[in-house]
Chains A and B, each alone.
Chain A
Amino acid sequence: MSTHPNVTVIDRMTTAVFENDRDTLADLFTQDMELHVRGPLPSAGDYTGVDGFLSALGTVFELTDGDVKIEQLFCIADDRWGTEWEHAVFGRQGRTLEAKNAFVYQFDGGRIGEMWMICAAPAGSESFWE
């Protein structure tokens, strides 16, 4: 079975995040793209556009001083929807936090129009970010 083009869009978006590649993200998002972050993360909230998206993720990189490792466990998509499950490891001030993150993507003409990120970190993990 060949990979759906929207899976490639998600993979390209992930790579662009890690390369801080604003131009590629602008290509992959609709202009009014919305991001909703939920769960015990310091950046939980709602964001719009490339700037909002990068500021949400930037907070995580800032607080961990870049000590972030993300492993994609699976990713599937069709023309309208996509979903991704990843294992994340964060390091901060000598401590390590492992979490599973779920993503849901809504596509609009091959671009990401809306996405949800739900962090499923263990109970009490809020203190990691304080």
Chain B
Amino acid sequence: MTSPSGPSGTRSSRTKLSSVGEGIDRGRDAFNRQAWRRAYEQLSSAARDEPLEVDDLERLASAAYLAGRSEDSCEVWARAHEECARVGEVARAARCAFWLAFALLNNGELARGGGWVDRAQRLLDKRKLKCVEQGYLRYAAALRSVFSGDVEVARAGFNHAAKVGERFRDPEISALARIGEGRCLVYLGEVAKGVALLDEAMVAVGAGEVSPIATGDAYCTVIEGCQETFDVRRAFEWTAALSQWCDSQPELVLYRGQCLLHRAELMLLRGAWTDAVDEVERACSRLADAVSHPVLGAVSYLRGELHRLRGELSEAEHSYRTANDAGRDPQPGLALLRLAQGRVDAAEAAIHRVRDEAEDPITRARILGPYVEIALAADDLAGARAAADDLATIGAELDQPLLRAISLQVTGAVLLAEDDPHAALVSLRRSWGVWRELEAPYEAARSRVLIALACRALGDEDGAEMELDAARAVFSELGAAPDVVRADSFSRLSDRRVPGPLSARELEVLTLVAKGNKNREIADQLVISEKTVASHLSHILTKLGLPSRTAATAYAFKQGLVS
């Protein structure tokens, strides 16, 4: 005979066990379907009732990481590591420690990440164990070196890791290590060799031979590598592949922010600024509950760039500060912002400091364009010439259209300042041609403004005005208010200028009104309230002495704000 509570207690336990088992099955099923959030929820819920097996702990940790729950993921990897170490599965314990270190290192936590690498390495060394995990740990150690700035040591480490991966026929570590080595080679100036390694490694990634965590990391690392080498074509190609990969996993959070960031960067180049703003906002919202500081910094920096280009200077300042707080150097954008604010001394001091810190040519190349612009504004012609020549040398070595266009543009600007409009015109027309090939309207229009100045210096006033008109139309279309004002300031046809002291933001609102947008739509596009739009519109009508919205639209067309 059993006590009254006995059978019911047993039934309850059985029911609970069965429910836990079902939860684990559902979690595994969700994991296999790449439904990371659901896999995380099911498996973590099951883990509260019963300790999970190591296989499921690994699934839970991976799902948590991909669902953007990095801290939870680290905690589960640590648990899996301890469980494997406890039962003597040393190699597997080292693998769990690797993924934990991978997450921490990529989040900028070098001390914690490095500690786990050392711990796992000691485990393998103590047992004198030779296994593929040795390669994984070599990779993690190299990752630590690269984040610490020791690129040469990192390159050697990635190379070793790749060799171990090849020996053990492990596509995952082989691909990750080759990508790491490729990035290092780029930094060390061996660009062609580095890019070839990146392409080679991505074959395995594209073929689905590596895990989702490694796949996302590989895409993002390669895209960053393409951006560093100014390789727009490859950046577009890999960003499209990353977008497709992200879209196939709706519950993916981890790499979604990076994906939107990369897309926004390319949209900015291609002149789709409104879309770029949307992508940046989406990236920020994706990152809000899954904070990844390096990405948050990059997204904030890009947002700052968009605000600066549109003349929203205080918003730009705020975004650059946020980027800085998240660990992203806000330069050269902040220096250009100071220039836009008329604080030339501050801009000059900042850009000098940044250039002096940029040791390798790749980093310097990103700085030298803004450096020339600021040096010219500060009447430092010798400094501008030296920077333009440096950029031309780097450009010749990298041989990428984007860098060639920048180099030709700044060389043209320097030649103009040196009072050599003939040579300037040659350089600037070539620059404009490359920008057009790259489908980069904003930069192409900036080249046209300089072409206009060269034409004027050669006495061709008609040519100058036509170039200014063409540039101005592009700036208006993009909402690049400061550039519209600048183009107008160069125009000698006073009736082409926008009369009245319209602010950059008002100019932007007027352009959008003229394009037929309602206040609600304008508010959405500019990320401001509908009430603020109405207020801007009221000021515009007052300043221009116009009676209505329709009159403002007619005025905008007449002024060439919209084509």
Which A residues contact B (CB, under 8 angstroms)? 14-15, 17-21, 61, 65-72
Instruction: Give the contacting residue for B166; candidates A14, A20, A65, A70; CB below 8 A.
Output: A20
B167 and A69 form a contact (CB under 8 A):
no
A71 and B127 form a contact (CB under 8 A):
yes
Name the residue of chain A whose CB is nearest to the CB of B169.
Answer: A66
Complexed CA–CA distance, A95 and B491 (Å)? 80
B163: Cβ under 8 A from any A Cβ: yes
Name the residue of chain B whose CB is nearest to the CB of A62.
Answer: B169
A18 and B130 form a contact (CB under 8 A):
yes
A61 and B169 form a contact (CB under 8 A):
yes
Does more than half of chain A's interface fall in helix, strand or loop, or is it mixed? Answer: mixed
Which B residues contact A (CB, under 8 angstroms)? 91, 127-132, 134, 160, 163-164, 166-170
> What residues on A are CB-neighbors of B91 within 8 Å?
69
Name the residue of chain A whose CB is nearest to the CB of B128.
Answer: A72
> What residues on B are CB-neighbors of A20 within 8 Å?
163, 166-167
Beyond the given A61-B169, A72-B130, could you list 12 further A-B residue pairs with CB under 8 A, ordered by the A residue number?
A14-B130, A17-B130, A18-B130, A18-B134, A18-B168, A19-B163, A19-B164, A19-B167, A20-B163, A68-B131, A69-B131, A70-B131
Complexed CA–CA distance, A3 and B167 (Å)? 28
Instruction: Give the contacting residue for A65; candidates B129, B130, B131, B169; CB below 8 A.
Output: B169
> What residues on A are CB-neighbors of B166 within 8 Å?
20
Across the A-B interface, the 5 shortest Cβ-Cβ residue pairs: A66-B169, A66-B168, A72-B128, A70-B130, A69-B131
Complexed CA–CA distance, A75 and B314 (Å)? 69
Instruction: Give the contacting residue for A71; candidates B129, B163, B164, B170; CB below 8 A.
Output: B129
> What residues on B are CB-neighbors of A14 within 8 Å?
130
A18 and B164 form a contact (CB under 8 A):
yes
Name the residue of chain A whose CB is nearest to the CB of B133.
Answer: A69
Given the known interface contacts A18-B134, A19-B160, the answer about A66 and B129 at a Cβ–Cβ threshold of 8 Å is no
Name the residue of chain B whose CB is nearest to the CB of A57.
Answer: B167
Complexed CA–CA distance, A20 and B165 (Å)? 10
Name the residue of chain A whose CB is nearest to the CB of B167.
Answer: A20
A66 and B163 form a contact (CB under 8 A):
no
Minimum CB–CB distance for A68 against chain B, Å: 7
A61 and B130 form a contact (CB under 8 A):
no
Name the residue of chain B whose CB is nearest to the CB of A15.
Answer: B130
Complexed CA–CA distance, A65 and B209 (Å)? 14
Name the residue of chain A whose CB is nearest to the CB of B124.
Answer: A71
Minimum CB–CB distance for B461 against chain A, Å: 69
> What residues on A are CB-neighbors of B130 within 8 Å?
14-15, 17-18, 69-72
Name the residue of chain A whose CB is nearest to the CB of B132.
Answer: A66
> What residues on A are CB-neighbors of B131 within 8 Å?
68-70
A61 and B167 form a contact (CB under 8 A):
yes
Complexed CA–CA distance, A67 and B167 (Å)? 10
Complexed CA–CA distance, A67 and B130 (Å)? 11
> What residues on B are CB-neighbors of A66 within 8 Å?
132, 167-170
Minimum CB–CB distance for B166 against chain A, Å: 6
> What residues on B are CB-neighbors of A65 within 8 Å?
169
Complexed CA–CA distance, A66 and B128 (Å)? 18
Complexed CA–CA distance, A21 and B159 (Å)? 11
> What residues on A are CB-neighbors of B169 within 8 Å?
61, 65-66
Listed A/B pairs (13) with beta-carbon separation below 8 Å: A14-B130, A17-B130, A18-B134, A19-B163, A19-B167, A20-B167, A61-B169, A65-B169, A66-B132, A66-B169, A68-B131, A69-B91, A71-B129
| Most chain A beta carbons < 10 A, residue from B127, B131, B170 | B131
Complexed CA–CA distance, A67 and B131 (Å)? 8
Complexed CA–CA distance, A17 and B134 (Å)? 13
| Most chain A beta carbons < 10 A, residue from B130, B131, B166 | B130
Complexed CA–CA distance, A119 and B127 (Å)? 20
Complexed CA–CA distance, A20 and B166 (Å)? 8
Minimum CB–CB distance for B165 against chain A, Å: 9
Instruction: Give the contacting residue for A61; candidates B127, B128, B134, B168; CB below 8 A.
Output: B168
Name the residue of chain A whose CB is nearest to the CB of B159.
Answer: A19
> What residues on A are CB-neighbors of B128 within 8 Å?
71-72
> What residues on B are CB-neighbors of A68 within 8 Å?
131, 168
> What residues on A are CB-neighbors of B170 within 8 Å?
66
| Most chain B beta carbons < 10 A, residue from A14, A19, A69 | A19
> What residues on A are CB-neighbors of B167 within 8 Å?
17-20, 61, 66
| Most chain A beta carbons < 10 A, residue from B129, B163, B167 | B167
A70 and B129 form a contact (CB under 8 A):
yes
Minimum CB–CB distance for A13 against chain B, Å: 11
> What residues on B are CB-neighbors of A72 within 8 Å?
128-130
Minimum CB–CB distance for A8 against chain B, Å: 13
> What residues on A are CB-neighbors of B160 within 8 Å?
19
